[in-house]
Amino acid sequence: MTETRVLDGRRLAEKVEQKLAGEIAAAGAKPFLAVVLAGKNEASEIYVRNKQNRCRRIGIGCEIFRLSEEVREAEILELIDELNANPEVNGIIVQLPLPAHLNTAAVLERVCPGKDVDGFQPLNAGRLASGFPGAFVPATPLGIMRLLEEAGAKFCGLHAVVIGASPIVGRPLAALLLNAGCSVSVVHDKTIEIEKITAEADILAVACGCPELVKGNWIKEGAIVIDVGINRENGRLCGDVDFSGLMGKAAVLTPVPGGVGPMTIAMLLENTWRAYKQQHNI
Ligand code: NAD
C-alpha cells in the first residue's frame, strides 16, 4: 500500500499569482489581455469570467470582445488584426469552441505569435513540437508540468503516458514531457488495450473527457497521476480518474476540482506577463 499525496492545485496557483502580482506592481506595468468570445456558450461564459476576475486580481487588464453567434469569419479576423496591431494589447486568446460555421484553424492562425498567450498558433505549436526554445505553451500542459515539478518528478528516463491527443492538452503535454527527458506514449480513443500501456507509466496524465475512466488496476504502484478531466455527472463534478480507486496505489494524485484547473488560469496569467515583458524588452 502506497501513501498517496494529493496535490493542492489551488495553493500552488495562489503562490504563482502572488508572485506575478508582486512583479507587475514592482514594474509599475499594466499588462492587458484581450479575450475574443464568439457566440453563446454557458461553459465559455464561466471560463472567460473566471479568467477576467483572476487577471484583475493581480493587476492585468482584461476585456472580453463579444461577437454574435452568426459572426462572419471576415469580422472575427478583422477584430484579431486590430488587436494584433494595438500596442496596448499584450496577449490575445480566442475562447473555444467557436461557432461551428467558423474555421477554427484559420482564426487561431491569425493571432500574432508574440501575443499568442494560449500557444495555439502554429508557429508556437511547431516550436514546442520541435523542441525549439521560446514558444508560448498552452496553459493546461504548462500547469501540469508545474504540478509534476511540485510532486518532485525527475522526468529524465521516466515513462510518461498521456491519455488524449488534443492540440490543447495531450499533444503539447507529450512534447513538454519529451523535451524534459521522458519516454512518452500517447494513447487515444483508437488505442487497443490502453490499460496495458498505462500500467507501465511512471507518470500518467489523463485528458480524455471520460468520467472516471482510469481505475486503480490500470496503474503501477507508486505512479504519479495527473487528472485533467472536468466532467459533470448528475450535477457532480468529476475527473477522468477514479480518485478513490487510485488512493493508496498512486504516489501522487491531483483532485478534481482543485488540481489542474486552477493552475491552467495561473499559467495563462504568467504567459500574459511574459508577453508584456517581451514586448517591452524587460
Ligand atoms: P478533446 O475532446 O479535444 O480530446 C479528447 C482526447 O481524448 C482525444 O484525443 C480522444 O481520442 C481521447 N479519448 C476520448 N475517449 C477516450 C477513451 N475512451 N480512451 C482513450 N482516449 C480517449 O478534449 P480536451 O480538450 O483535450 O479535454 C480533455 C478533458 O480535459 C476534458 O474533460 C476537458 O474538460 C478537460 N480539460 C480541462 C482543462 C483544465 O484546465 N483542467 C483544460 C482543458 C481540458
**pLDDT, tens only, 2-25:** 999 999 999 999 999 999 999 999
Cell digits of residue 176:
513538454
Residue 1 CA, ligand 1 centroid: distance in Å: 30
Contact (Cβ atoms closer than 8 angstroms) between residue 200 and residue 156? no
Name the closest-CA residue to atom 4, ligand 1: 166
**Average pLDDT over the chain, rounded to an integer:** 97
CATH 3.40.50.720 residue window(s) in the chain: 138-261
Question: Is the CB of residue 259 below 6 angstroms from any atom belonging to ligand 1?
Answer: no
Question: Is the CB of residue 209 below 6 angstroms from any atom belonging to ligand 1?
Answer: yes
Residues belonging to the active site: 51, 95, 118
Instruction: Decide if pLDDT at 190 tops 90.
Output: yes
Name the closest-CA residue to atom 19, ligand 1: 189
**Mean pLDDT confidence for 222-239:** 95
Question: Is the CB of residue 264 below 6 angstroms from any atom belonging to ligand 1?
Answer: yes
Residue 228 CB contacts under 8 Å (≥ 6 apart), including other chains: 140, 144, 164, 169, 205, 206, 207, 239, 240, 260
CATH 3.40.50.10860 residue window(s) in the chain: 29-113
Residue 197 CB contacts under 8 Å (≥ 6 apart), including other chains: 161, 185, 187, 191
Q: In CATH, which superfamily holds the domain spanning 138-261? A: NAD(P)-binding Rossmann-like Domain (3.40.50.720)
DSSP 88: T
Q: Tell me the pLDDT tens digit for each residue of 20-59.
A: 999 999 999 999 999 999 999 999 999 999 999 999 999 9
Question: Is the CB of residue 198 below 6 angstroms from any atom belonging to ligand 1?
Answer: no
Q: Which atom of ligand 1 is nearest to the CA of 143?
A: 40
Question: Is the CB of residue 205 below 6 angstroms from any atom belonging to ligand 1?
Answer: no
Q: How confident is the model at residue 233 (pLDDT cuts 50, 70, 90)?
A: confident
Name the closest-CA residue to atom 31, ligand 1: 209
Q: Which atom of ligand 1 is nearest to the CA of 229?
A: 32
Nearest to 114, CA basis, from 138, 142, 136: 136
**Mean pLDDT confidence for 232-239:** 91
Pocket probe for ligand 1: among 228, 264, 269, the residue whose CB has the most ligand atoms within 8 Å is: 228
- Percent of the chain at pLDDT above 70? 100
Pocket probe for ligand 1: among 189, 196, 198, the residue whose CB has the most ligand atoms within 8 Å is: 189
For 99, other C-beta atoms within 10 Å of its C-beta total 16
Instruction: Decide if pLDDT at 212 tops 90.
Output: yes
Question: Is the CB of residue 267 below 6 angstroms from any atom belonging to ligand 1?
Answer: no
Q: How confident is the model at residue 235 (pLDDT cuts 50, 70, 90)?
A: confident
Question: Is the CB of residue 113 below 6 angstroms from any atom belonging to ligand 1?
Answer: no
pLDDT at 122: 97
End-to-end CA distance of the chain: 50
Angle formed at CA 205 by CA 15 and CA 18, multiple of 5 degrees: 10
Instruction: Decide if pLDDT at 182 tops 90.
Output: yes
Task: Give the pTM.
Answer: 0.97
**Mean pLDDT confidence for 136-148:** 98
Question: Is the CB of residue 188 below 6 angstroms from any atom belonging to ligand 1?
Answer: yes
Q: How confident is the model at residue 234 (pLDDT cuts 50, 70, 90)?
A: confident
Lowest model confidence (mean pLDDT) among 23-27, 40-44, 160-164, 252-256: 40-44
- Tell me which CATH code domain 29-113 carries: 3.40.50.10860
